[in-house]
Amino acid sequence: MEGVDYLAPERNNAQFDVDEMKIVWAGSREAFEVSDRIARLVASDPNFRKDDRTTLGRKELFKNTLRKAAYAWKRIIELRLNEEEAKRLRSFIDQPAFTDLHWGMFVPAIKGQGTDEQQEKWLPLAYKMQIIGCYAQTELGHGSNVQGLETTATFDPQTDEFVIHSPTLTSCKWWPGGLGKISTHGVIYARLITDGKDHGVHGFIVQLRSLDDHLPLPGITVGDIGMKFGNAAYNTMDNGVLRFDHVRIPRNQMLMRVSQVTREGKYVQSNVPRQLVYGTMVFVRQTIVSDASTALSRAVCIATRYSAVRRQFGSHNGSPETQVINYKTQQARLFPLLASAYAFRFVGEWLKWLYMDVTKRLEAKDFSTLPEAHACTAGLKSLTTSATADGIEECRKLCGGHGYLCSSGLPELFAVYVPACTYEGDNIVLLLQVARHLMKTVSQLGSGKMPVGTTAYMGRAEHLMQCRSDVKQAKDWLRPNVVLEAFEARAFRMSVACAKNLTKFSSPEEGFQELSADLVEAAVAHCQLIVVSKFIEKLQQDIPGKGVKQQLEILCSVYALFLLHKHHGDFLSTGCITPTQASLANEQLRSLYSQVRPNAIALVDAFNYTDHYLGSVLGRYDGNVYPKLYEEAWKDPLNDSVVPDGYHEYVRPMLKQQLRNARL
């Protein structure tokens, strides 16, 4: 960094080794090194500049994205980056592009659902980007309810082909990223129909555009679905609409790993277990959770640094004003988000382990932990993405007026992030799935079937129903077991209360519908327990580095006690804690904030984000905010001329009382 470091005093105050914390954050020294190297590579290459993109019109913005995608691919080849490095590169470019879907959804779908033969044919083309693919599931009329998709793939035994067709307007594919303008191929989900029989939704590889001139193939109508939320943000992506008019594809383009259609048109299941698809789902959701920690930590980094730069009120006899980070209200809004970023990081790390565990078990045909793993990842996806979306917006507000400027980086971060609450499963729909799993688990408790994984605590039903917290002083709340027991008891009792209430209805399904809002709350309580417990587990590991573990212990307590305070009604109404204990927790929380304060800047430095990646004048590493805000302002196109375009036609006639004759 050149020039003055306005935040140096803050950095000097830190009570721990930042470099060691960077390793913890990254997951390993190796992961840190890759990430650090690639981040610098992107940051130092002017081809990846992004500070101008919020003023670009849609077409320019899209072209800009195409250029970056091509340039990135060129660099990946030139530098012989491996898969992980290439992934990091794309993520540090920080501009959603068709390549995200190609690598993140199209390729994995073929890997997961294609036969060996299909993989051999299609993957090499995809790996070299000789074809570009998208993932086309959602339709205008159906998103959450995948089983309700309307596109049809009808087998024609005469020609050994499927006929892909959009029978209604609502059956148009709608939303797939990369589809609108770029993809040459797609994995298309459609109802398989053989001999008049509907076999439900299956995946098909369909070529969409000519590899010669990029024009849509006959029978295909395809385009972009239009502007989306925010400046730049997801408008760099060509989410698309797609209508099929009896498009024919060879039979071998149905993804046939799990089920097949024979030459005769017979529908047969292979001996590959259907559950395999869950493995992919766990993988994708693990990525989403880890992306949540990234997005939240970026916002927190910006808001924390700016809160240390920004001073407002509190000057006495000419002394400087108070840094707003010193206000307890600012701390009470900001530090729980800082703690959440770390919490989500660690639960994301644990999900990586879970994915490996599930994969291993699948290979050994052990499906026993699958339903639990499925519910748990659904819940964590929902919890972390919702908290992150809200958290980014809170960080924006924490920056006062200046947070509303695009140059703060926060508006775009919010707009580009929020769809994570909706895609890969609407967050409420996912929590309802978690709730179903919890109700099933509770109902089986008497039966001797022991709950597994993250629901294992329910096995201690008797204890959890009757335990009462023995917190007597504020500092008792620092003991991990005390916290854990309170969260377990609360989650369990909320689930049990729901289960009890369900029995009052004439049918369980009616009860589930009626009580679904309560069930969602019980699911949230369960998911919060998971995050808290994984944070605590993380701290049982050996963590080297001066002061590093202590800082994480503080953050872990902040995360747990913040949740406890926010939801103290749950803890009180279920009798897990007393009002006095709740207020002791709050007291402890306040004192923890004071402990975080001197380390706050270093704790966000540990994310190791470059100024390029942060893309925020307010979050600059050097804290040199004001001159840069001022500089940025003048770059707006409106400042190209002193007198704005439109003045002569519209403003002058108004000022000169000559509107009557003006052509408007």
- Residues with catalytic annotation? 424
Task: Report 318-357 residues binding ligand FAD (CB under 6 A).
Answer: 324, 327, 329-330
Nearer to Ca ion, 234 or 417 (CB): 234
β-strand pairing of 133-136 with 185-194 = parallel
Piece of the chain touching ligand FAD by CB under 6 A; list 242-250, 259-267, 397-405, 624-632:
397-405
Piece of the chain touching Ca ion by CB under 5 A; list 56-64, 189-197, 293-301, 316-324:
56-64
Q: Provide the minimum distance between the beta carbon of 35 and its own copies in the complex, in angstroms, as a whole number.
A: 25
Q: Does 144 sit near ligand FAD (CB under 6 A)?
A: yes
101 binds, among ligand FAD, Ca ion, its own copies, none (CB under 5 to 8 A by kind): ligand FAD
Q: Does 640 sit near Ca ion (CB under 5 A)?
A: no
637 binds, among ligand FAD, its own copies, Ca ion, none (CB under 5 to 8 A by kind): its own copies
422 has binding-site annotation: no
Nearer to its own copies, 37 or 635 (CB): 635
For residues 105 and 418, what is the distance between their CA atoms, to the nearest angstrom?
19
Radius of gyration of the chain (CA): 27
SS3 12: helix
Q: Which residue has the tokens 């700016």?
A: 306
5 binds, among ligand FAD, its own copies, Ca ion, none (CB under 5 to 8 A by kind): none
β-strand pairing of 240-244 with 173-174 = antiparallel
Q: Provide the minimum distance between the beta carbon of 313 and ligand FAD in the complex, in angstroms, as a whole number.
A: 4
Tell me the residue number closest to Ca ion, measured at CB: 57
Half-sphere exposure of residue 446, counting CA atoms within 13 Å on the CB side? 3
Q: Does 646 sit near Ca ion (CB under 5 A)?
A: no
Tokens of 373: 């793993």
Piece of the chain touching Ca ion by CB under 5 A; list 54-62, 224-232, 259-267, 335-343:
54-62
104 has binding-site annotation: no
Helices 548-566 and 480-502: crossing angle in degrees, nearest 10, is 30
Piece of the chain touching Ca ion by CB under 5 A; list 51-59, 254-262, 316-324, 435-443:
51-59
Nearer to ligand FAD, 361 or 402 (CB): 402
Sequence-ordered list of residues with C-beta below 8 angstroms from that of 289, at least 6 positions apart, any chain: 344, 347, 348, 351, 377, 380, 381, 384
Query: What are 395-399's contacts with CB under 8 Å, separation 24+?
Result: 395/299, 395/300, 395/302, 395/303, 395/334, 395/337, 396/299, 396/303, 398/303, 398/306, 398/307, 398/330, 398/333, 398/334, 399/302, 399/303, 399/306, 399/307, 399/310, 399/618
135 binds, among ligand FAD, Ca ion, its own copies, none (CB under 5 to 8 A by kind): ligand FAD
Nearer to its own copies, 351 or 413 (CB): 413
Residues facing 224 on adjacent strands: 240
Look at the chain and count its residues.
Answer: 664
Question: Considering only CA atoms, which of 76, 107, 247 is closest in space to residue 183?
Answer: 107
Nearer to its own copies, 228 or 361 (CB): 228
Q: Yes or no: say if 106 and 126 are a contact pair by the CB < 8 Å rule.
A: yes
Considering only residues 426, 518, 587, 632, which one is a binding residue for ligand FAD as defined by CB under 6 A?
Answer: 426
Q: Does 378 sit near ligand FAD (CB under 6 A)?
A: no
274 binds, among ligand FAD, Ca ion, its own copies, none (CB under 5 to 8 A by kind): none
Piece of the chain touching ligand FAD by CB under 6 A; list 133-141, 251-259, 342-350, 534-542:
133-141
Q: Yes or no: say if 240 and 138 are a contact pair by the CB < 8 Å rule.
A: no
Sequence-ordered list of residues with C-beta below 8 angstroms from that of 143, at least 6 positions apart, any chain: 175, 426
Question: Considering only CA atoms, which of 346, 390, 284 is closest in space to residue 531?
Answer: 346
Considering only residues 312, 315, 580, 658, which one is a binding residue for ligand FAD as defined by CB under 6 A?
Answer: 312
51 binds, among Ca ion, ligand FAD, its own copies, none (CB under 5 to 8 A by kind): none
Q: Yes or no: say if 346 and 534 are a contact pair by the CB < 8 Å rule.
A: yes
Piece of the chain touching Ca ion by CB under 5 A; list 50-58, 270-278, 403-411, 545-553:
50-58
Nearer to its own copies, 12 or 573 (CB): 573
Q: Provide the minimum distance between the beta carbon of 57 and Ca ion in the complex, in angstroms, as a whole number.
A: 2
Task: Report 168-227 residues binding ligand FAD (CB under 6 A).
Answer: 175-177
Nearer to ligand FAD, 393 or 485 (CB): 393
Question: How many residues line the site for Ca ion (CB under 5 A)?
Answer: 1
Tokens of 451: 């709950």
27: left (phi over 0), alpha (psi -120 to 50) or beta: left
Handedness of CA 563, 568, 572, 577 (dihedral sign): positive
Task: Report 82-121 residues binding ligand FAD (CB under 6 A).
Answer: 101
Q: Yes or no: say if 297 and 341 are a contact pair by the CB < 8 Å rule.
A: yes
Q: What is the 3-state secondary structure (H, E, C) of 88-138?
A: HHHHHHCCCCHHHHHHHHHHHHHHHHCCHHHHHHHHHHHHCCCCCEEEECC
Nearer to ligand FAD, 56 or 105 (CB): 105
Q: Does 58 sit near Ca ion (CB under 5 A)?
A: no
Q: Yes or no: say if 93 and 48 are a contact pair by the CB < 8 Å rule.
A: yes
Question: Taking the C-alpha atoms of 148, 150, 151 and 152 in order, what is their torsion angle to the nearest 10 degrees?
Answer: 100
Tell me the residue number closest to ligand FAD, measured at CB: 143
For residues 113 and 274, what is the distance between their CA atoms, to the nearest angstrom?
10
Q: Does 419 sit near ligand FAD (CB under 6 A)?
A: yes
629 binds, among Ca ion, ligand FAD, its own copies, none (CB under 5 to 8 A by kind): its own copies
SS3 505: coil
Handedness of CA 278, 280, 281, 285 (dihedral sign): positive
Nearer to ligand FAD, 61 or 478 (CB): 61
Considering only residues 99, 113, 138, 386, which one is a binding residue for ligand FAD as defined by CB under 6 A?
Answer: 138
Q: Does 428 sit near ligand FAD (CB under 6 A)?
A: yes
136 binds, among Ca ion, its own copies, ligand FAD, none (CB under 5 to 8 A by kind): ligand FAD
Nearer to ligand FAD, 312 or 573 (CB): 312
For residues 630 and 310, what is the distance between their CA atoms, to the nearest angstrom?
15
Q: Provide the minimum distance between the beta carbon of 659 and its own copies in the complex, in angstroms, as a whole number.
A: 5
Considering only residues 57, 318, 446, 569, which one is a binding residue for Ca ion as defined by CB under 5 A?
Answer: 57
Nearer to ligand FAD, 98 or 477 (CB): 98
Q: Provide the minimum distance between the beta carbon of 352 and its own copies in the complex, in angstroms, as a whole number.
A: 28
SS3 364: coil
Q: Yes or no: say if 96 and 416 are a contact pair by the CB < 8 Å rule.
A: yes
Q: Provide the minimum distance between the beta carbon of 148 and its own copies in the complex, in angstroms, as a whole number.
A: 7
For residues 554 and 342, what is the distance between their CA atoms, to the nearest angstrom?
11
Q: Provide the minimum distance between the beta carbon of 642 and its own copies in the complex, in angstroms, as a whole number.
A: 6
Q: Does 572 sit near ligand FAD (CB under 6 A)?
A: no
In the complex, which residues of this chain contact ligand FAD (CB under 6 A)?
101, 135-138, 143-144, 175-177, 234, 239, 310, 312-313, 324, 327, 329-330, 398, 400-402, 404, 419, 422-423, 426, 428-429, 432
In the complex, which residues of this chain contact Ca ion (CB under 5 A)?
57
Q: List binding-site positions for FAD.
A: 138, 177
